[in-house]
Chain A
């Protein structure tokens, strides 16, 4: 069934009758990233105002693939289980050349994780759940139909000019976070360069409603017989909605291609019948761009406003939620004085690194899917030809490298080579079953000393989580060692680890975390 859009109420903001007190944080944009950040800050006890120029959730399904890491982050702010329950869980992807399968992958081959590898769920549902959670949270002041028209920065504040249906007012904040999307008005108002690359290719994206028993897998075709010479992607969503992406070529006329009389015959060739309803259609081009820096004094960019990628790795929305993860605890610590503003430099450093990784992956996928004439097309076609005959060429077939959490380069972090690679410093702490629950549920919000099979080091300022070992804990946290201590950041990233810790080293690692060094 089609999603029923319900506009949210506009409420006259207090700033229209009297100047408002300076707010700790104002977030611009009530999309998934802005709302997730507001809820993450609320988890850390920090209030924020969220302004949005609109009053409905996303029109069209837009971001649909939510990664395991995103689900863990959404779980921390209270909507992860709801997303899994409503969404379509999948972990297998199949890639075809013509009608022949060339490559399949399983994104989560092991058990013992609370969250699945991927869930497909329309962005409008994720936003709906986030809006509900935000409206119910006393730390979040969500204001619809509040549009930013100007921004200026003073020494220790940013001041926004806001337009509402009842007139204009100003909002002053210690920090403004721009979560206002790929076309970020704040980025434009500040005149910041958004450097990168546009790919000369057009894709048709269509959501259709139909009854079908396609398996819950991601399916990607190079040169399918139903869409000769181009590529195609099929994803299943809840409510009997299917997402179809069709490559059209750079010469396609975007207006003409959006018309149902043009779209319906194309879809008919994909699904083999006309028994479907067109739910949403859009034509898009790819861009890979990023800001040179994400922190500009009192204005911080987060999500698509900071970086954009092509959609094939699901690295846009998922990358944005990982920005929220890296920013929330640090901004909260700066706001309440536990850390200096330098800590935000670590957000900038880590997420610029992650954006480069996402852009590199996305650019490689795009090059493979839409090769330029000449050598690019030659090698692409020959990789596909070889993949029919030999194993080795199959991993070269690139239909998108799906979002995985960035492993931050923490080269100076204490580490022990006897411990497993999957939990080295810089990695998100791998989930595992613990007693009646999950490890990820016991991490987050504050720094944790995870202690397994050894004595608790005498160090203040960390919450101790002592674990009994089980096969998953052993495989993911001990390896050949009999005991270990892990220092885990509030964003569930491993900051340091030891087999036999000396309390001084643990205390130093704890301090490094608050100074933005780990």
Chain B
């Protein structure tokens, strides 16, 4: 795996050493929560991760990708 050449560029290639492990931990965090509690947890998680990224340009690309990828495929 190569490090991103431009630090203000959103990493969209696979970047997690243990993707399955992360996914499992994410589901576990939501276990036992109702829909509203899950939504609130996701909101906090977004805010925490955004602060960790700490770069508005990267975050703007992430927001764009999240919004575009929610659309129905053409």
Contacts and interface: CB of A to CB of B under 8 A. Distances in A.
Interface string A462-499: 00000000000000000000000000000000000000
Nearest to B52: A392
B48 A386 contact: yes
A10 interface: no
B44 to A, nearest CB: 5
Nearest to B54: A392
A385 B44 contact: yes
Nearest to B45: A382
Contacts of B47: 379, 382-383, 386, 393, 396
A29 to B, nearest CB: 41
A382 B51 contact: no
Contacts of A382: 40, 43-44, 47
Interface in B10-56: 39-40, 43-44, 47-48, 51
Nearest to A380: B43
Interface in A140-190: none
Contacts of B40: 378, 381-382, 385
A390 B43 CA distance: 15
Contacts of B44: 382, 385-386
Interface footprint category on B: under 10
A150 B37 CA distance: 60
A393 B44 CA distance: 10
A378 B47 CA distance: 12
A382 B50 CA distance: 14
The 6 lowest CB-CB distance pairs between A and B, nearest first, are A382-B43, A392-B51, A382-B44, A378-B43, A379-B43, A386-B44
Contact count band on A: 10 to 19
Interface string A372-391: 00000011011101100010
A392 B40 CA distance: 18
Interface of B: 39-40, 43-44, 47-48, 51
Contacts of A386: 44, 47-48
Interface of A: 378-379, 381-383, 385-386, 390, 392-393, 396
Contacts of B51: 392-393
A390 B47 CA distance: 11
Given A381-B40, A392-B48, A392-B51, 12 more contacts: A378-B39, A378-B43, A382-B40, A382-B43, A382-B44, A382-B47, A383-B47, A386-B44, A386-B47, A386-B48, A390-B48, A393-B51
Interface of B is mostly: helix
B36 to A, nearest CB: 9
Contacts of A390: 48
Nearest to B39: A378
A23 B65 CA distance: 60
14 contacts: A378-B39, A378-B40, A378-B43, A379-B43, A379-B47, A382-B40, A382-B43, A382-B47, A386-B48, A392-B48, A392-B51, A393-B47, A393-B51, A396-B47
B38 to A, nearest CB: 11
Nearest to B43: A382
Nearest to B40: A382
A372 to B, nearest CB: 15
A367 to B, nearest CB: 15
Contacts of A385: 40, 44
A223 to B, nearest CB: 15
A173 B44 CA distance: 59
Contacts of B39: 378
A378 B40 CA distance: 6
A383 B50 CA distance: 12
A95 to B, nearest CB: 17
A396 B50 CA distance: 12
Nearest to A390: B48
A72 to B, nearest CB: 32
Nearest to A395: B51
Contacts of A392: 48, 51
Contacts of A379: 43, 47
B52 to A, nearest CB: 9
B56 to A, nearest CB: 13
A381 B47 CA distance: 12
Nearest to B41: A382
A385 B46 CA distance: 13
A378 B43 CA distance: 7
A383 B46 CA distance: 10
Contacts of A396: 47
B45 to A, nearest CB: 9
Nearest to A379: B43
